[in-house]
Amino acid sequence: MIDYHVHLWRHAPQTSLQADVDQLAEYCVYSRRLGVTELAVTEHSSRFVQFDTLVRGWWEGDPSPARRAETCTCWDDELGADLDQYVDAALAAKAAGLPVRLGLEVDYLPGQMAKVAALLAGHPFDVLLGSVHWIGAWLFDALDWAEAQQQWASRGVERVWDDYTRSVEELASTGTADVLAHPDLAKVAGQRPAAPDEFYHRIAEAARSCGLAAELNSAGWRKPCGEAYPAAALLRRFHDYGVPITTGSDAHQLADLSWRLADLTAAAQAAGYLEVTAFRARNRVPQPL
């Protein structure tokens, strides 16, 4: 098994955001006991000062002062890591023989992805996950923010899913990612459209037409939606469309590392998959499930 969605830091204000070879070694030992042979470290791009320099203020186009303020606060609370230090630590772990791949979770920001792609091109990444967390300046998976949760009622489920799916399509078309991470994240709060097939088709078609893999992610079992990402019906559609998959825990702490990956493997097999996809230098390396 592979865990291709691993974070080094929790979602909380940090005093020190230092990538650490010893931490990566601990992660590898822990996950190996669970049958995982390879990890990809994939911290959020928004946590690095180099990205902040490029895109800061992207939220200013949102019409809501409250949403702009929330996003700015969240952004600043979690900012402070240095991309070069992070890359060097992962490369040092690889050089020491640890089964670590260098990755990043690239957050989709409308109108900013060309600049982001130029920055990414300067580093030897193995795999890049593409994620949609914001719709405008609305961080829709911020489940404990009052303003964020009010948006579900004011916008309506169908509109939210349409806006989310459009963002996934735009992200896929930019070429800044190899994998669509948690591809139906719009369900995180438990809000699902009455007839999701159109959205599932659009998401799977975006992955197929743009040559991306899809991520099978266990973190949804820890959220109000109560199921893995993607839903079984979307996973079957990915399979039918010929979209390869990766597996990941989306862990932000050791206790969640490689969590329920065996269940993900079973889900993938039930959908018809025989292989999972690893990456080297952004090139696919199929492995048997």
DSSP per residue, 91-103:
HHHHHTT--EEEE
Span of 66-70, 98-102, 262-266 with lowest mean pLDDT: 66-70
pLDDT of residue 17: 86
Given a cut of 90, whether residue 143 has pLDDT beyond it is: no
Give the list of residues 6+ apart from residue 258 with CB closer than 8 angstroms, or none. Answer: 1, 3, 30, 31, 34, 36, 249, 251
Q: What is the mean pLDDT of the chain?
A: 94
Q: State the pLDDT confidence band at 196, using cuts at 50, 70 and 90.
A: very high
Given a cut of 90, whether residue 146 has pLDDT beyond it is: no
Show the DSSP H helices in the chain as ranges: 21-32, 49-55, 65-77, 83-95, 113-120, 146-155, 157-173, 197-210, 232-240, 261-270
CATH number at residue 243: 3.20.20.140
Domain that includes residue 104, residue range: 2-288
**What domain count does the chain have?**
1
Given a cut of 80, whether residue 54 has pLDDT beyond it is: yes
Given a cut of 90, whether residue 183 has pLDDT beyond it is: yes
Q: What is the pTM of this model?
A: 0.95
288 Cα distance to chain centroid: 23
Total Cβ atoms within 10 A of residue 95: 10
pLDDT in tens, 241-271: 999 999 999 999 999 999 999 999 999 999 9
Span of 88-92, 124-128, 148-152, 200-204 with lowest mean pLDDT: 148-152
